[in-house]
Amino acid sequence: MIWYPYQQMKTMKAPYHIINAEGVYLYTQEQKLIDSVSSWWSVIHGYKHPELNQAIQTQLEKFAHVMLGGLSHETAQKLSDKLQDWLPGDLDYCFFSDSGSVAVEVALKMALQYYMNRGENQRTMVLALEHAYHGDTFKTMEVGDDEDYHFVLHAYGASQNVVHIPTEIDALEKAFERYHSKLNCFLVEPLLQGAGGMRMYDVTFLKRARELCDQYGVLLIFDEVATGFGRTGNRFVADLVLPDILVLGKALTGGYIGHAVTVANHRVYEGFYDDNPAHALMHGPTFMGNALACSVALKSIELFETRDYMSKIKKIEQITRREMQGFCHPEVKEVRIMGACICVEVYEPDAIRGYQQFAYEHGVFSRPFLNYLYAMVPYVIEEKELVQVLQTMKDWFARK
């Protein structure tokens, strides 16, 4: 049987059984639902997209997969060329992997080894944010700050190798002053912290982080697994502030196949590039550079560029602001909107208990967590569908 994620299996309510999906809609036997979650924020073009389906089919006629150990292929090559062109600055070196968590692990390994290769063995520490989420593998849990994973803290005690700070410039400056000689990187979800509660913060914090990283020679890593491909209203936050390492996942393949990439700049790549075999990056996920994943990622990026997705995202933000204007309720602490992300934070989790079923009955799939009711819709959503998603949220609070 299936062991479901993030659930107490004993008390879990039965998941909705999906029998078909097309555009922004999920279909159960009896209901048609707008997916306001985009399958964990990844399905940006909607389901069963004819061109994405075709890209996979075309690749499948050749082969589904070959490993990148000792082999290479045109589709992975094309994707790395495209990313090199498309991403800002000298973020040119693409290390593929099969999931966001692994891609963050690779970034952390790169940052640590970058300094080990230079003989700076004391740089073992990672600076990260309070409420950070970077994945579910052990090192990503360690650099994360998600209450759901604090059992790990209880088991091992607080890590000596990670410092967490709030998104305040004061705290940032103090941390650099105190730890700079031991830090190898500052890892952040830029502008929007997703799983930690859809927390939004200002770009000035990132600009100051870039300055401090330059001043003290610390690598800046952006985990854009969630924020990448337009979610914040920027194509990438890396377009505003340039990191040394950029991590992409989720929407990379338009939500079709699990794949991710850790993109290093020239400086990081050079830190590994020499005659010493011990200075190589010792990592290699079995399915890295999977041909089906790369083919659909290429097509996804092409759609994003040629169909002017950035203006779709601007429109989603405008409609969201218009619809939520003046919305308030005694149970609601704050409404946050950034790009194609909206979060309604309530004071007590009880205030949104039962929302999922309510939304289901109103033709919307939603998955609130803790105090957060949110939507991250597919970018192809129509205005009236988006209004339905937002109206359902407002109706929930109006009903009592």
Q: Is 60 left (phi over 0), alpha (psi -120 to 50) or beta?
A: alpha
**Is residue 135 close enough to count as binding ligand PLP by CB under 6 A?**
yes
Give dist(CA 373, CA 324) in Å, integer.
Answer: 13
Nearer to ligand PLP, 225 or 352 (CB): 225
**Binding ligand PLP by CB under 6 A: which of 133, 176, 372, 397?**
133
Nearer to ligand PLP, 263 or 351 (CB): 263
Minimum Å gap between C-beta 275 and ligand PLP is: 34
Nearer to ligand PLP, 150 or 178 (CB): 150
Residue 312 a catalytic site member: no
Residue whose beta carbon is closest to ligand PLP: 100
Nearer to ligand PLP, 258 or 271 (CB): 258
Nearer to ligand PLP, 144 or 271 (CB): 144
Three-class SS state of 24: coil
Considering only the stretches 73-81, 99-107, 276-284, 318-326, report the one whose residues sit in contact with ligand PLP under the rule CB under 6 A. Answer: 99-107
Minimum Å gap between C-beta 220 and ligand PLP is: 15
Q: Pick the catalytic residue: 47, 93, 139, 250?
A: 250
Give dist(CA 239, CA 376) in Å, integer.
Answer: 21
| The two three-digit tokens of residue 143, written as one number | 């650099």
Residue 8 bridge partners (DSSP): none
Residues 185-244 that bind ligand PLP (CB under 6 A): 189, 194-195, 223, 225-226
Number of residues that bind ligand PLP (CB under 6 A): 15
Q: What is the β-pairing status of strands 125-129 and 162-165?
A: parallel
**Is residue 339 close enough to count as binding ligand PLP by CB under 6 A?**
no
Give dist(CA 293, CA 75) in Å, integer.
Answer: 9
Considering only the stretches 131-139, 276-284, 291-299, 387-395, report the one whose residues sit in contact with ligand PLP under the rule CB under 6 A. Answer: 131-139
**Is residue 262 close enough to count as binding ligand PLP by CB under 6 A?**
no
Which positions ≥6 away from 71 have C-beta within 8 Å?
A: none
Q: Angle formed by the axes of helices 383-398 and 309-324, to 10°? A: 30
Nearer to ligand PLP, 46 or 249 (CB): 249
Minimum Å gap between C-beta 272 and ligand PLP is: 23
Q: Pick the catalytic residue: 35, 145, 146, 223?
A: 223
Q: For the window 283-322, what string marks contact with ligand PLP as x by the rule CB under 6 A? A: ----------------------------------------
Residue 6 a catalytic site member: yes
Give dist(CA 46, CA 49) in Å, integer.
Answer: 6
Q: Are 222 and 260 in contact (CB under 8 A)?
A: no
Give dist(CA 231, CA 376) in Å, integer.
Answer: 8
Query: Which candidate, 204, 190, 206, places its Cα nearest to that of 339?
Result: 190
- CA distances to 107, 138, 161, 262 from 283, in Å: 11, 16, 21, 12
One-letter amino acid at 168 equals E
**Is residue 125 close enough to count as binding ligand PLP by CB under 6 A?**
no
Query: Which candidate, 58, 47, 41, 40, places its Cα nearest to that of 25?
Result: 47
Residue 16 a catalytic site member: no
**Is residue 249 close enough to count as binding ligand PLP by CB under 6 A?**
yes
Count, in order, helices (H) and strands (E) of the chain. Answer: 13, 16
One-letter amino acid at 335 equals V
Nearer to ligand PLP, 136 or 302 (CB): 136
Residue 92 a catalytic site member: no
Which positions ≥6 away from 81 have C-beta within 8 Å?
A: none
Interface residues with ligand PLP (CB under 6 A) are 99-101, 104, 133-135, 189, 194-195, 223, 225-226, 249-250
Q: Which residues are catalytically annotated?
A: 6, 133, 223, 250
